[in-house]
Amino acid sequence: MAQSRPVVGILWMLVTGLLFVGMTAVVKHVGSDVPAAQSAFLRFALGLPFALPMLWPLVRSGLTRRQAGLFAARGAVHTVGVICWFFAMTRIPLAEVTAMNYLNPIYVTLGASLFLGERFEARRLIAVAAALVGALVILRPGLRVVEAGHLAMLVTALFFAVGYLIAKRLSGQVSASAVVGMLSVTVTLGLLPFAVAVWTPVGLAEVGWFLLTAILATLAHYAMTRAFAAAPVSATQPATFLQLVWSVLMGATFFAEPVDGWVILGGAIIMAAVTFITWREALARRVTADASG
């Protein structure tokens, strides 16, 4: 078994966060001049050259009908999530997009219990409840207007979680690189009709910006893979909270977005819930492994 290197894993996860926030900032910079579906399509289409080489193992081995169905289902739910995500990025502050995206692991935890037969133990219930409190702190319904972008982020986190659960089903059947490559292909195809329906002319400058988002996203996924290879998820997960710090700094510096203490507090609550459940799940797996050994 490879030796765990937590410091290296954390450093790679810090790089991952910077790259993802940078991608979000570029999309926000392009703004609402380009419809969300078209923006998302350009990002994924321009990223295909990076993803297609990952499909070589599938070309050699082929797909079963069940695997093809799972890939198609994941592409469909991720397509909806991506459209909502790109819409939200141009409607609400960067910090709120980042903080609400922390709900994704909580949805995954809930979905694993409901649909994958995993036991819904007390620690998971505590994490889900805490995350919902964090989301309410961010949204503050009744105290301020809940924007369409906030609702879009709730949908984004939910659909991304469904896609993650499908990927978990596929992970034992095909390589991780093939899962990533097929996601890029299926989402590009899924976004195409939505993009065509709202297509507006774009110049070389916009194409260049979207190419940059594809590069940043590819590098971010690579850095995240290196982080997971270097150390357990329980060690690297807390570092993802710094994405909220990067988002606050970038939003204030480049987009004149005010620093909202409630958003930071809500994001911290959600991230604490994610960190808690990650640590408890890792501990439970270690105890099970020791007992079986």
Chain segment 237-292, per-residue pLDDT in tens? 667 777 888 888 888 888 888 888 888 888 888 778 777 777 776 676 666 666 55
Lowest mean pLDDT among 37-51, 119-133, 150-164: 119-133
Indicate whether this model's pTM tops 0.85: no
- pLDDT of 236 > 80? The answer is no
pLDDT at 83: 94
d(CA 203, CA 152): 27
280: how many CB neighbours lie within 10 A of its CB?
Answer: 17
Could you tell me if 78 and 187 are in contact, meaning their C-beta atoms sit under 8 angstroms apart?
yes
Q: pLDDT tier at 120 (50, 70, 90 boundaries)?
A: low
Backbone angles phi, psi at 141, to 5 degrees: -60, 135
- Please say whether the beta carbons of 134 and 269 come within 8 A: yes
pLDDT of res. 285: 64
Q: Are 140 and 125 in contact (CB under 8 A)?
A: no
Do 291 and 149 touch, CB atoms closer than 8 A? no
The rounded percent of the chain whose pLDDT value lies above 70 is: 87
Q: What is the largest CA-CA distance in the chain?
A: 62
Rounded CA-CA distance 246/95 in Å is 8
